[in-house]
Structure 1
Amino acid sequence: MAEVSTVVLLDPLRPDVVPIEAVSFLSGPVQIDGTVPEPVRVALPQSTAGAAVIVMMDGDGPRIAALATSGARIVRAAPVHGDRLVEAASIMDRLWKRGGWEATQTHESLSVYLVEETYEVLDAILSGDEIDLREELGDLLLQVLFHSRIAQAHGVFELDDVAGALIDKLVHRSPHLTSSGVVDIAEQELAWERLKDVEKARASSMDGIAKSQPPILLAKKVMNRAARAGVTEIIPQATLESLIERCREADAALVDALDLLIAEVRNWETQQSRA
């Protein structure tokens, strides 16, 4: 059997795409490895046993390393930025199709996790722990994948539609993407808000405010929108600030009480572990 001189690796995420560097190696006899899916196999030249060029799926680390050690040239496509996002979406799809817990969820049942994961991201930011932040952002990404998959199951939209809507928004609201030179941040922010207002075409500056956010954040958003609209005298500023301060005090008192409870639970758990 001829020694393998070249290994053409196909990307499992897009097995029907051949690396451009590999095209010249596919003009002669090739072995088609059993790992190559049948739909891809039929599009390739007929497999020739013992050929010096072998086409196989990427991913079998030890086997590929052994071939490289034997002197074979390894040809694979360069990784595409965002490939792991595609892989994550594929895993989400596989989980859904298995019909387990994932397939029983709804937008409503997951909403509590979405809020919780968002605050865990904020905690990671405040802690300054970049490794923790990476993990928490992954958990938040899972929520995006999950809600997109639920919508796909109902024929409403899918993950690509979510990404497409974001792309359209970023391109439309970021005219500086096509300009050169230094970006003026103040002008950039102004352009973003102006284009956003045109897109939304809201009848009121109060439209689109998320009412489910915590009261203090809601107050800040409403007051900012009111100031932009030029309406600031309906409720005295002092009254609003007093109410906001009362919210802060109540939040602080609740956090202090919960910190005591957390400490007590940890103390109890420590005692139980020693018992």
Structure 2
Amino acid sequence: MNESPVVILLDPSRPHVFPLAALPFLSGVLDIDPDVPESVRSALPIPTPGAAVTVKMDTPGQRIESLFASSVRVIRAEPVHGDRLVEAASIMDRLWNRGGWESTQTHESLSIYLVEETYEVLDAIRSDDENDLREELGDLLLQVLFHSRIAQSHGVFELDDVAGALIAKLVHRSPHLISSGVVDIAEQERAWDALKAAEKARASSMDGIARSQPPLLLAEKVLSRAAKAGVIVSTDEADLEALIERCRRADTELLSALDVLMADIRRRERRRLENVED
């Protein structure tokens, strides 16, 4: 039996994975907390109550935190970057399997939320509020989890496939990942565009442009793609620029009108609240 008490804390996300530093203690006499899963308990020696080495789950709370203020040696599994993403996916699964509102949704029914959450992320970026940005990115992440779960229910793909496709894309288009030294950003961008073009093998620079985006953004994308492709601007460019300018003015006028309307609604809400309080 060890002279100094030792506590081995297991990560609830992966209780079957033991910290490397705990290995020398696992073949000796152990005490095992009841909250350790049975599948883990069965792989360990028969527990001995009061043993100097104890295996516990690393669950939040005073009970665990008090160990670090004591003379006990604590061996804790290192957190794995991305664990909370795994937990979020698990919660999405649980929500879906409950058969509530979530399980009635489709890609189409959620599309309005996807657009709205994207614009809320943009608002947070422009407000320079990092806390707001963190929250809005979480809402956008929910959309990724949601659409992936819908696809999984159809047997098409699941979240791991989405992540796998992204990983493959990043690795293929980022040859500098295996290089050393400072990255030349201009060269990085050229390599990305070249590899992307080879992957997509598009017949036209206009292929793959998202037509669901607002007309002004669509116009900017079209002109940007044309410029990158080295296409000579047609004689219709002046007409197009005039249309774009008219859209910009209309957007500005509509935004101003909406600002006035929103301010008026806030005033009416305050007056109604004051009347209720009176």
**Cα distance in structure 1, aligned partners of 2:180 and 2:3:** 53
Cα 1:182–1:66 change in 2 (3 A) is closer
Q: Residue 86 of structure 1 aligns with which residue?
A: 86
Residues 82-117 of structure 1: CA distance to partner in whole angstroms, max 9, x if unpaired?
222122112222222222211211111111111001
Paired AA for residue 36 in structure 1: V
Secondary structure of the residue aligned to 2:26 is helix
Q: CA deviation at 1:224?
A: 1.7
Secondary structure of the residue aligned to 1:74 is strand
Q: Residue 148 of structure 1 aligns with which residue?
A: 148
Secondary structure of the residue aligned to 1:207 is coil
| 1:269 aligns to 2:264 (yes or no) | no
Q: Residue 237 of structure 1 aligns with which residue?
A: 237
Cα 1:187–1:66 change in 2 (3 A) is closer
Paired AA for residue 207 in structure 1: D
**Cα distance in structure 2, aligned partners of 1:33 and 1:130:** 40
**Cα distance in structure 1, aligned partners of 2:97 and 2:5:** 40
Q: Is the 8 A contact 1:176 1:183 kept in 2?
A: yes
Paired AA for residue 220 in structure 1: E
Q: Residue 174 of structure 1 aligns with which residue?
A: 174
**Cα distance in structure 2, aligned partners of 1:131 and 1:267:** 28
How does the TM-score come out when normalised to structure 2? 0.93
| 1:210 aligns to 2:213 (yes or no) | no
Q: Residue 259 of structure 1 aligns with which residue?
A: 259
**Cα distance in structure 1, aligned partners of 2:207 and 2:214:** 17
Q: Residue 125 of structure 1 aligns with which residue?
A: 125
Paired AA for residue 226 in structure 2: A
Q: CA deviation at 1:3?
A: 9.9
**Cα distance in structure 2, aligned partners of 1:245 and 1:162:** 39
**Structure 1 vs Structure 2: percent identity of aligned residues?**
70
Runs of 5+ consecutive residues of structure 1 not aligned to the other structure: none
**Cα distance in structure 1, aligned partners of 2:69 and 2:233:** 77
Residues 16-69 of structure 1: CA distance to partner in whole angstroms, max 9, x if unpaired?
101111111112111121111122221222222221111111114211133444
**Cα distance in structure 2, aligned partners of 1:150 and 1:235:** 46
**Cα distance in structure 2, aligned partners of 1:172 and 1:73:** 45
Larger mean Cα displacement after TM superposition, 116-125 or 97-106: 97-106
Paired AA for residue 165 in structure 1: A
Paired AA for residue 120 in structure 1: E
Q: Is the 8 A contact 1:3 1:50 kept in 2?
A: no
Paired AA for residue 162 in structure 1: V
| 1:193 aligns to 2:193 (yes or no) | yes
Paired AA for residue 274 in structure 2: R
| 1:16 aligns to 2:16 (yes or no) | yes
Aligned residues: 274
Paired AA for residue 165 in structure 2: A
Q: Superposition RMSD on alpha carbons, in Å?
A: 1.7
Paired AA for residue 78 in structure 1: E
Q: Residue 106 of structure 2 aligns with which residue?
A: 106
Secondary structure of the residue aligned to 2:56 is strand
Q: CA deviation at 1:230?
A: 3.5
Paired AA for residue 21 in structure 2: E
